[in-house]
Structure 1
Amino acid sequence: MPSTLGSNTFGGMFGIQEKDPNSHYYMTRIPDQIMKIVKERICQLIHLNCPPDINCQYCINIRQSPALLKQKSAVFKALNDASYDNDEFRDMLVNDHNIIPHLTHPLIQFASQSQLDMRTDQQEQFNQQKSESSSSLSLITQSLDLLERLISNNNNNILNVVINTPNALHSFCALTNYKFNIHFSQEIENQTFKVRSSIKRCLRYIQQFGDASAQSELVNARYVGVLVILFSIAGGSGEEYDNEIYWRLNHFSYFLRCLNKGRKSSWYPSFPPQLLLAQISDEQIEEEGGNEEIDSQLINKGYSDNIKSQANGAKGAIFYYFIEQGNRKPYWYNQ
């Protein structure tokens, strides 16, 4: 998850922290004088070499270099830290600096390049990765962390900008298995793991906080097929693998249940059943061999048998629309 305020954050970097007087808990915040510097000076650095296709009127064109990428990475980290529990600051980033396209467009380009890389063999990918600047990958991870922070606060305006950006969700889905099971240096592997983890959380937040139109865009991006791939490639043994399988099955079941039954909630947007989307998702599951993959998890005793339970729930979510009103309903029907 994105970092919270503490000794290793923007406030900590300045060596100045103070207790938030509006909180009943002990939380630190960035003092007002530091926030003023962030707003007046740091935020302007968002516009260093803006993506050309967004036509940013505040763009500051500077010759690209690893040092500049590292600086912009630090800027995004600072903004991420300053955004913690600060709605006013997040709104300022979105409304005054149009931050979302500054984050999504480089990610779309990055995903496109990663798809080209997948067409090469592993040795070529290794050579490409060695030549790829670690500062460039660091910028992507910090961009994702900031985007995740913004999406996770259940802001409809932010979600709408993201889902209406052409190719954004397709690119996010493509990055869910970015450089998976390709071994580089430990530093690069840590960064690629961060990319995969953060992008999966972004997609989860979009599904969770999104309305019916967001669910439609996720289906168009083949999100359910991506979830099938994710819990099918999470092979191996141990807690890390079990955790991945458990949560992908959990998200898979929840997504299908929302499509089949609709969602009524006081916390998230409500919408009626989306049966056409459910049917399209079922076709995607078939194409990815999802039924067979879920069947293989029915005997998985990992996570204290909770994976098996999630697999049963996933089977139920798939077969939901085959159940007629007069038939006896299995235990998972109302889950």
Structure 2
Amino acid sequence: MTTITQFVVRKNDLSDGRIATQDLSPPSDGEVLARIDRFALTANNVTYGVMGERIGYWKFFPAESEGEGVIPVWGFAEIVESTHPEVPVGERIYGFFPMASHLVMQPAKVSEGRFVDGAEHRAGLPPVYNSYTRVATEPGYDGDLDDARMVLFPLYATSFCIYDFMQDHDWYGARQVVVLSASSKTAIGCAYAISADASAPRSVGVTSPRNAASVEKLGLYDEVLTYDALDNIDASIPTVIIDMSGDGGVLGRLHQHLGDAMKYTSNVGVTHYDANTMPRGFIRDRSEMFFAPGHIQKRHKEWGPGVFEKRAHDFWKDTALKSRDWLTIHREEGADAVKQAWSAVALGKTPADEAWVVGF
């Protein structure tokens, strides 16, 4: 019998969380028990909670109590018990886990480099979240990048998707891209991609006054503005918006300012989850929620197996190495540390140039 520890939150108040325990029986035939070593906590996980009902993030790791949920995280784990002939004890894996100490899994579609968790309740969920990397066989695997991988890979993979999506649509004819919440890590990933592409539109990063200096120091955006200076954005040229915050007030003001010049808005994140109701002035017919797993599935069909993964991995690794210049990762262990880190992230108290890697 194994006792697992997990962190559960109130679905209607993500900042309200508690530590819970549960006894698990030994794995059944074909199952494995993974001990979750550590995982990252960023604003990305807040988005998982906010979109939990709409996209289905609460379904991955269901909580026992009504009204509560387990936030999904990206991390590393070790197989500590196994009844599956192809997944041995001691196997180290990377992927999508609950904010917990352990997870029972049902490996399926096992290959040399990965397997899928074939648990029945996950069958209809986006495949990208059900796939786990077997790092021992991964070409070029570098354990020194584990912390950066947990923090940045899910974000920079999304960044790569957004950039690739915009490029695939020829930037909707825009000559200017406005990135809201420009200090967020996903936004910075987009900025790395845009700045490396000489054919991309000029970029304008919009951020809070407290983050303006650090965003300017990155040298990735052609122009950096604060939210009180939205009227300084050139409304005479075709513009696309990449929105990382979901702040309805900001989007409404910006859409009104740009008018017909606003060609498309990609709503990516909802870190300002208490302000994401879109007001009058928001142009709905040229705005759409961006769902990275959907874009990945599209590219799988167009590019063939493994091509997207290689391109996204190469992009992540390159940008992760560059990000060492500005990113500080705090590494802590224990239930109290998990609770403290989540509180800091959920309440927006973690500075943009910092991140958490924690474990029970």
TM-score under structure 1 length normalisation = 0.26
Name the structure with the higher helix share. 1
Find the structure with the greater CA-based Rg: 1
TM-score under structure 2 length normalisation = 0.25
